[in-house]
Structure formats: C-alpha cells, structure tokens
Chains A and B, each alone.
Chain A
Amino acid sequence: MQNFIGNLSRRTLFKFSAVAGTLATLGTSASSAFAARVNKKGTGKMTYWNHFTGAPERAAFAETTEAFKKASPAIEADIQTVTNDDWMAKYIASTTAKSGPDAVMIDVTRFTDMLRIGGLRDITTYNKQWPGAASVAGDTPAFSFNRKVYGVPFFTFIDWTYYRKDFFEAAGIKKEPTTMAEFREAAIACTNPSKGQYGFAMRGGSGGGGFIVNALHAYNGSIMSPSFKATLTLDAAVEAMRFWVNLAVKDKAVVPTVATDGYAQIFSNFYQGKAAMVMHHGGSFIDVGKNLKYGSEVMTLARPKGPKDQFGFQAPLANGVFQHTKNPDAAFEYASFLGSPAAQTVFLKGTGYFPTSTAAASDKFIADNRQFDTAIASLASLPKTYTFPGLTAWRDLTCLPEFQKCLIGTQTPEGAAKIIVDRLNVVAKAAATANRKYYSDNRGK
C-alpha cells in the first residue's frame, strides 16, 4: 500500500480523484433520490369532498375513515358530502375563492372541466413515489393530461343491464341478448301492455342523455378524437337515433312514461315488474339486491354490442388533491389510501362498486358472486367513457331534449340526429380552442 501511494503520479492521483468524486456525487444523488421516493407523511386537518350521499356509501366512508385514522393517526380527516347535482357549482365557487377542501372526488366525465377550471393539483410526483400506483395504473390515464397525473383511481362504474329472469323464461327467451338487434327482440318479446308489462325501462327523463351517447358510440365508434375533432357521422347518428327512438315509438317495448323517467322511475318500474330489463351500472348492485333476489328473480347482463362498438362504457372515479390546499401531503395520503386495495374492498362490499385496484378486484367477494362475472367480462370489452370539455352540456342540453322531442312526436330521429351532430361539431371546435389556450397558458409549468 505504501509502495502504491509512493508510486502515485500526479496524473494518476487526479484520475483517482475524478473517479472518486464522480462516485461520491452519484452516491449522494442516489441516496437523496431514494429518500425522495417516500412521500412526506401528512399531518393536521384534511378535508375531503365527495358526492356520495346514499346510506351504503356513507357507511363505507365511515369504515374507511376509521381505517385511515389507524393508518395515519397524525391526520384528522373530515369527510364532507356535496350532492352530485350541486357539485360543480360548489367546486367552481371554491376554486374561484381559492378556498375549499384538501382532497376532492373526480368523476371521469367531469375531469377535463374540473382540470380547466383550475381546481386540481398535479400529483405526478406524489404518484410516482406511491408504492400502490402500479395497482391502479390501468385507470390512471383517465385522470392524466399532458403527461401529468391528477387523480388516484378509486373504483369504476361498469355499465351493464339487469333483467328479470322470470320474465325472460315466460317469454321463452333462452339466450341472453348480446347484440342490439337481439336486445330489441327480447324487449319486444317481454312486452305485454294488457298486463302493464314492457320489455325495457328506458331512461328518457333526467340522466337519459347518457344513453343517447351510448347509442351514438355503438353505431359510430368513437365520436370525438383525442385532439377534440368530432368524428360522429350523420349517417351513424341517424341510425342510432332511429334505433333508440323506435324502441319506444314504433315497437312500444318501453314503459310509456319514458319521457319523464329518471333513475327513480326506471328502477321503480323494474322492481314493480312493469319492465323486464333496465340499463344501469354496478352502482345500483346493492339496491337491486335489496328488492329482488339475484339468481332467481334478477340477473346481470353485459351491454349489447352495436354495429361499431359496445352500448356502454366504463367510467372510473378518482380522488385528487385540490389546487389551493394548504395540506397537499395529507390530501394525497388520503386520496392514495382510498386507492389502496383495503379501502376499495370496503367499498366493494358495502356498495358493489367495482375496484380499480387489481389486488382488490381479485377479492373473494367478487370471485364468489356470479353477478360480477358480467363486470369482469365487460372490463375487457367496454370502452372508457368520454371526457371532453362541454360533454355534459351537449349530452344534457342537446341530446336529451332532442330525444324527448322524438318521443312526443315533435321531432324526427333524422332531425334530432342532425342537430346532435351539428352541436357536437360546435362543442369540438370550442374544446379544441380551449385546449390550445390551455396548452399555451400552461407551457413550461
């Protein structure tokens, strides 16, 4: 060793110093990178807004909050509810006031609107450091924009159809309908107006606009490109509107009060035996089970396939961090806790909401419950729902009223389709313009 040191030339010494320095720098940065991989533990009060007001959801939130208290005792979580109908008004007000909750629920159909209003915080760094991110990675892109993550997926609503098994047997239907043509035939076969019985409880009142979007997508394929270019053709829209309107107007296979039927009415009709089928998603799973017996009275069925795609969507739901929070660490800790398999399993058992976590999706509750087979099968075939600026306004203020006019005979499916396509083009142009502005405003941020 002494010889080695004694024989060191100045050049060799410099070489060793350079290598040692580089290794030291790399080591330091590696150790600091390792340290940064762990999110900072949150402390203090954290307020969370969600729009779930039903008793099963409240109970599930109570249970998960207790579990969160044990997992993160330094955080005092305050879970607050805002009714779904009033959600955007309150969100806009709190974003404008730069004062609101710390964490917020994000429905995927509202994601782009909530992002552009400016109330969602970029959580990409948090998400990268969160060990559970891989488990919900399948749905994370639905809450990402411009390569930035804004939400931790919580669970996903999978569209499906409930049908009365006894009605199908009485009508002699042996094979579950898989296409829209078969769905129509089944609805007609189950219709018997003299008994006050119809094939389908169609939603033509509040919330009915979503089914028009379903029909347009099933006949056209994607109606909006990722760069906000409307891709809905008039021919496809006409076919879609003809199918959906004629099911009520010509086939008379739907409950006659369709034009005013919202969620409460279609499910009342279904429970009361006035309709053989009703379309919804897994969110109503528990409520249906309280009124009808799964297996003997009611079954689930995948949404039918249209000429271009399935008649339905997967709509994930996430939790994000409010832009103006003073406690982002605690907010992300709570949002990521709800994204964990443990919390998602509590919600699955309490509400039937399908988890986004791959670990939670393999829970015994799902494996033992045959009704979820439909959801598992649909996961592979159902497209993700749309989320573009102006979607909800176009859906509820153009699609639904035009459909309702068709039902009462003041509009034709062709006329309605033209207005729907025209308005979608207007919405797409506005969305593209808003998108360019958003990009230019946020360039470099």
Chain B
Amino acid sequence: MTALKKKRPVSYHLVNIGIGFLALFAILPIIWTFYTSLRTNVDINKFPTKFSFSNLSFDAYFGVWRDTNFPMLIKNSLIVSTMTVIISLALGTFAGYALSRSKFRGRQGVLLVYLAIRLVPGVLLLIPMYLFMNRLGLLDSYIGLTLAYTTFTLPATIWLMKGFFDSLPPDLENAARIDGCSRMGAMWRISIPLVLPGLAATGTLTAITAWNDVLFALLLTSSDRTRTWPVGLREMIGEFQLPWEALTATSILSLLPVVIGFALVGRKMVAGITAGSLKD
C-alpha cells in the first residue's frame, strides 16, 4: 500500500490540493457564518475583527427560536414545498408519460407551450396571479401558494419526466401488456419503479424551487399563518437594525432542512440526473 502511494505522480497530489482549496473556498463562508452566529453583535462589529473562541454561545439560536415565528415559518415552507412536489410529480408524471408514449397530432405543440410557460418571467404574472387568487379566495392560503408554484414547476416536471420515460425501452411495457397488464398497470408496475431516480431528482428540484421562492410568497401571503421561511428571513432584516448574529443563526438553521433533504435523496438525485448518459 505504501509502495503504491509513492508511485502516484505529482499531478495527482496537485489536483488533490486544488480540490482541497476549492472545497475550502466553498465551505469557508458557511463556517464563518456559523462562527458569526455564535458571537455577540458588539463583538461582530469590532474592527479589526478578532478570531477568538471566547464568549461564543448559542444565544442567537435560542433567541431566533423564541422571539420569531421560526418554527411556524419552517412548518409553512415544508407544507407548501411538499404539496407542490406532490401535485407537480403526480400531474407531471402522467403528462410526461403520455407525451412520451402516445403519438398524437400537436404533441410537439403541447411541449412547446409548456416550455413557453416556463420562459415567462414570474414577475410579469404577479398582479394577474394576485387578482386571480383573490377571485378564487385563495389569498393567504397554502393551496393558493402551492398552485402558484405548480404553475412554474409543472412544465419543468413534465419535460424532465418525459425525458426519463423516453430513456426506457417501450418493449418492457409491451411485454407486461402481453402478460395481461393494462396500460396503467404497465406504467405503475414497470415504468415508475425504473424512473424512481428521475422522480427523486425532479422532486428535489421542484422542492428547492418552492422552498427558495420569495416573490410569490411575499405577494400571495401576508399573515404569519401561511408565510414561508424565505419571506420570514427577509423580514428579519429590520429597516433600522443590523442583527448580524440573529441573521447568521437563521441562515444556518435554514440550511439544515435542505442539507437533511439532500442527504436523504442525494444519491437517487445524482443517479437520476445522470440516467441515460451512458450507452449500454
């Protein structure tokens, strides 16, 4: 083993050092954010700043949990993101499957329409969306926000899912149908299990879109009952206050669900994204 290591060329070590620097470059801001969240505001504002491990505490985290609606905001974000993922995946999977397997006149047109919807900047739809939601009585509600997000996530979901279904040979389903499966049965028993990594990837991308949105959440919600986390974070920056320790603490807290979520589905997601990239 030691002999093997010695044989490795200099370039190998140089590349590793380079990767190490890149990793440090990426992770250092997060470490600094975490370190800042443990300091007091007076200490943070001192110049020149001193790197010290004294007087560090989790007070900012307790303060955020106690003094803001953090748990409620996170709960709202989770509910809206989950509902968006469920609706987008349910509709997108069926639509993607239909567009992949069925040959009908205007199929390309349908796909282009979905793409066009995706290309419309969200800000252009703000006022019409507000008026529409108001007419439906869905302002300041989970379902209203979910439907608004689905408008933008569904086209991408359909395109992605169509791509995953396209990569499956239709003969697999044909064989199942010969054995007595209906079209839906073949889809459910054969195709869906094979595109699970794709579903995970699409679901993750949809969840991230819904989780991070500020624009629609700001406009379509106004009470703490439905307000999502990014809006709460934005509101934490007062007009005339600089609560750096609270802001950094909330930033770290808001990273946690994303990190946990990625840890759970990350492997599937990467597999889904790279699915079909290699020819058998």
Contact = CB atoms under 8 A, between A and B. Distances in A.
Given A89-B126, A93-B126, A99-B139, A272 B238 contact: no
B218 A82 contact: yes
B253 interface: no
A78 B223 contact: yes
A290 B236 CA distance: 17
A57 B218 CA distance: 19
B239 A283 contact: yes
A263 B67 contact: no
Given A52-B238, A54-B241, A271-B45, A93 B219 contact: yes
B234 A83 contact: yes
A295 to B, nearest CB: 17
B150 to A, nearest CB: 20
A88 B48 CA distance: 39
Given A80-B223, A90-B219, A287 B240 contact: yes
Contact of B127 (A80, A92, A291): A92
A5 interface: no
A274 B238 contact: no
Interface residues on B, range: 20 to 34
Interface centre among A52, A83, A283 (most CB of B within 10 A): A83
B130 interface: yes
Contacts of B219: 86, 89-90, 93
A267 B241 CA distance: 9
Nearest to A53: B235
Contacts of A101: 222
B241 A55 contact: yes
Nearest to B42: A291
B223 A97 contact: no
Contacts of B246: 55
Interface residues on A, range: 35 or more
A227 interface: no
A279 to B, nearest CB: 13
A165 B154 CA distance: 60
B33 to A, nearest CB: 16
A268 B241 contact: no
A49 B222 contact: yes
A51 B239 contact: yes
Interface string B200-228: 00000000000000000011001110000
A291 B246 CA distance: 15
A81 B235 contact: yes
Contacts of A54: 237-241, 243
Contacts of B151: none
A273 B223 CA distance: 39
Contacts of B238: 52-57
Interface in A283-323: 283-284, 286-287, 290-291
A70 B144 CA distance: 34
B172 interface: no
A330 B134 CA distance: 22
Contacts of B237: 53-54
Interface of B: 41-42, 45-47, 67-68, 126-127, 130-131, 134, 139, 218-219, 222-224, 231, 234-243, 246
10 contacts: A54-B239, A55-B238, A83-B235, A89-B126, A97-B130, A97-B131, A97-B134, A280-B240, A283-B239, A290-B41
